[in-house]
Amino acid sequence: MSRFWPSSLLAQVMVAVAAALLVAQLVSVALLYRAGEERRESAILAAAAFQLVSGAEQAAREGPQIRPRRQGRDAREAQAVPGGLPRRLRYITTTEPPVDGSDANGEGVREARLRSALLDEGVEPHQVAVTVRRAGDDPALNAFAERRPRFNRRQGWRDRRLYVASIQREPDGRWETARVLEPRRRQGTPTGLIFQTLVTFAVLIAVLFFVIRRITRPLARLTERVSDFSREPGRVVQLEETGPADTRRLIAAHNAMEARIAAQLDEKDVMLGAIGHDLKTPLAALRVRIESVEDEAQRAKMAASIEDITATLDDILTLSRVGRAEMGVETADLGALALGVAAEFEDLGEPVEIADPPRIVARIQVTWIKRALRNLVSNAVRYGGNARISLFEQSNCAVLRVEDDGQGIDPARIADMLEPFTRGESSRNRATGGAGLGLTLARAITEQHGGELVLSNRHEAGQTTGLRAEIRLPL
């Protein structure tokens, strides 16, 4: 389900609001349709009440005699009157109720409406019964249709709903019954209601789109600025404070935070530069002074310690400058870069191999990527005894892979190995343990290029056969 859900805030809010509006509109349409049906039924029952009252009055005026009627007159009446029924079917009297209890399921509401309509006409009946049936299922209407072929040929009357309303004015009195055919619905009514709903929905969505976009546009700019600042923390850009009050306060807080972070980074660079200068100067002086030590073994140990301190200090200063240096990005062939790094180690007699790499061009800071690759090769030689370099393209990324034949790393410690001052073994000897900054520096350089550094163990026949380190750079 999450695959089909939009990712942006604007799209998610619009989808949620559109769904809520659509449900609200459908509920509104359903309520309007139901109210219309209730009004329609109330009008039919009011017509039935009128027929009961007027039919009784007319029967009282005419008396009990039955006058012969011509077939044509019945047919003309059936076409002329509302409901499409002749007068002799619109009002009849019987000794038994034409509506039995089994035929009037759930008619309490209709009976109450009919009683209310009769009370408005000044008639207070003793009993009221109402049922709704298919016109083709009404015995009286079927009998009339059999005697009147002209009426029987009228199309669609059998499928229309027929309201049969009966009242008994006095206890044990005769039952008066009125029949009303449900009027045909006007053409286009559902279509008009649907069209009105769609127009209302479209107008609301359009208005909400502009309102929500006004809210989310500053957030989108803020998100883009945060992403840019994470890549270039040295470049400060003050965003314009726009949008609602809450969004403006958020942008103002970000501007203040960005300025403060940039100031702290500048202070850190100044402090680290001062530390580097203040430490390297006495280290150089100390390096000169140890030349006066007569014991050659002690002199060599002291010189190695000074070189270890100097190298560690260089790594710390380099790590602090990643992402802050003014070194420009250039287009470079990664294959040629890998060959150059391998040649440097081969000149030193180190067991480093590289197959003929393909030509893969990328926009990189050449000096930094060389430094990262050197660190990986150096670690492979130091801990694995050898290094194999390869280059290939995978998933739109250039992959610089370095493999060794050592013992690998405990899987539980792989993530920790990328943290500063974490070493593969506890020795503080730089030749074996190092300062623990090589992988950290390689990861920082890779992430500065928008890529990632991946460490994993190699396995053959269920045994760990070495470590694999990959610099993945997006192309």
pLDDT digits (tens, 9 = 90+) for 429-466: 444 445 567 788 888 888 888 888 888 888 877 777 88
- The dihedral built from the CA positions of residue 36, 39, 44 and 45, taken in this order, carries a sign that is positive
pLDDT digits (tens, 9 = 90+) for 377-428: 988 898 888 999 999 998 889 999 999 988 888 777 777 777 755 655 544 4
Q: Six-digit token pair at 97?
A: 């109720």
The alpha-carbon radius of gyration of the chain (Å, integer) is: 47
Phi, psi of 365 (to 5 degrees): -95, 105
Provide the total of helices (H) and of strands (E) in the chain, helices listed first.
12, 11
pLDDT at 59 over 90: no
pLDDT digits (tens, 9 = 90+) for 127-179: 888 888 888 888 888 787 777 777 777 667 778 888 888 888 888 888 888 88
CB 384 within 8 A of CB 405: yes
Which strand ranges, in their side-by-side order, compose the sheet holding 397-403? 352-354, 387-394, 397-403, 463-474, 452-460
Mean pLDDT of the region 299-317: 76
CB 300 within 8 A of CB 431: no
CB 232 within 8 A of CB 64: no
Q: Give CA–CA dist 208/470, Å, rounded.
A: 48
Give the model's pLDDT for residue 387. Answer: 92
Domain ranges of the chain: 9-184, 328-474
Q: Which residue has the higher pLDDT, 467 or 273?
A: 467
Across 85-138, where does the E strand assignment appear? 92-94, 127-134
Average per-residue pLDDT in the chain?
78
pTM: 0.46
Strand partners, 403: 388, 468
Q: Alpha helix (H) ranges present in 232-324?
A: 245-289, 296-321
Strand partners, 333: 361
CB 421 within 8 A of CB 437: yes
Query: What amino acid is encoded at 183 in this protein?
Result: P
Mean pLDDT of the region 240-268: 85
The contacts of residue 189 (CB under 8 Å, 6+ apart) are none
Phi, psi of 466 (to 5 degrees): 150, 180
CB 375 within 8 A of CB 439: yes
| Maximum alpha-carbon separation in the chain | 153
Task: Could you please state the CATH topology (level 3) that the domain comprising 328-474 is classified under.
Answer: Heat Shock Protein 90 (3.30.565)
Strand partners, 179: 164
Q: How confident is the model at residue 293 (pLDDT cuts 50, 70, 90)?
A: confident
Give the model's pLDDT for residue 434. Answer: 52
Give the model's pLDDT for residue 392. Answer: 92
pLDDT digits (tens, 9 = 90+) for 72-111: 444 444 443 334 576 667 788 888 877 654 344 445 888 8
pLDDT at 192 over 80: no
Give the model's pLDDT for residue 315. Answer: 67
Out of 67-71, 128-132, 316-320, pick the least confident.
Answer: 67-71
Which helix or strand (DSSP H or E) is residue 441 part of?
helix 438-448
pLDDT digits (tens, 9 = 90+) for 332-385: 899 999 999 999 888 888 999 998 889 999 888 888 888 889 889 988 898 888
Chain-centroid distance of CA 436 in Å reads 43
The contacts of residue 47 (CB under 8 Å, 6+ apart) are 82, 83, 180
Mean pLDDT of the region 202-211: 85
